[in-house]
């Protein structure tokens, strides 16, 4: 059997801090674990996100009800996420339009570079409530 990495988000939070009228900075913090049997280079692991009101969160991600969020790579090419290990990352989305009285969900999607095989990609999505600060 081929040894492959399998990355997944084990925990995450999203907070919204006001930067002006209905404008917010989103702070996304997450922990990513390699549950596979092979290491993966930090530079080959990335996140992307979309957000919507909670009532729309079960719709297809291509729906116009979702707004583009942001994403980042896990780290530098010199670092490896070995099997069983976890890494924490934090990144920001600026000037996101939110209405404080609404409930929102941030959909965090974990990906790997196209040339990397992974055991499973079915565990690469996590829906996280956005918490207003």
Of the pLDDT bands very low, low, confident and very high (cuts 50, 70, 90), residue 35 is very high
Evaluate whether residue 33 is within a structural domain: yes
pLDDT tens-place string over residues 51-63: 999 988 888 878 8
Evaluate whether residue 1 is within a structural domain: no
Q: What is the CATH number of the domain that holds 120?
A: 2.60.40.10
Domain that holds residue 37: 7-132
Q: Can you point out the beta strands (E) in the chain?
A: 7-20, 23-34, 40-41, 45-53, 67-68, 72-73, 80-81, 86-97, 104-112, 125-132
CA distance readout (Å), 99 to 22, 50, 93: 6, 16, 16
Evaluate whether residue 28 is within a structural domain: yes
How many structural domains compose the chain?
1
Predicted TM-score (pTM) of the model is 0.91
Evaluate whether residue 45 is within a structural domain: yes
């Amino acid at each position: 059997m081929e040894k492959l990495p399998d990355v997944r988000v084990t925990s995450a939070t999203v907070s919204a801090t006001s930067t002006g009228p209905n404008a917010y900075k989103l702070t996304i913090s997450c922990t990513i674990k390699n549950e596979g049997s092979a290491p993966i280079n930090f530079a080959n692991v990335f996140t992307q996100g979309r957000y919507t009101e909670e009532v729309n969160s079960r719709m297809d991600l291509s729906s116009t009800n979702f707004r583009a969020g942001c994403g980042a790579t896990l780290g530098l090419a010199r670092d490896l996420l070995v099997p069983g290990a976890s890494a924490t990352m934090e990144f920001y989305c600026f000037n996101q339009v939110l209405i404080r009285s609404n409930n929102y969900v941030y959909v965090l999607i974990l990906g790997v570079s196209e040339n990397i095989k992974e055991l499973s990609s079915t565990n690469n999505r996590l829906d996280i409530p956005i918490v207003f600060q």
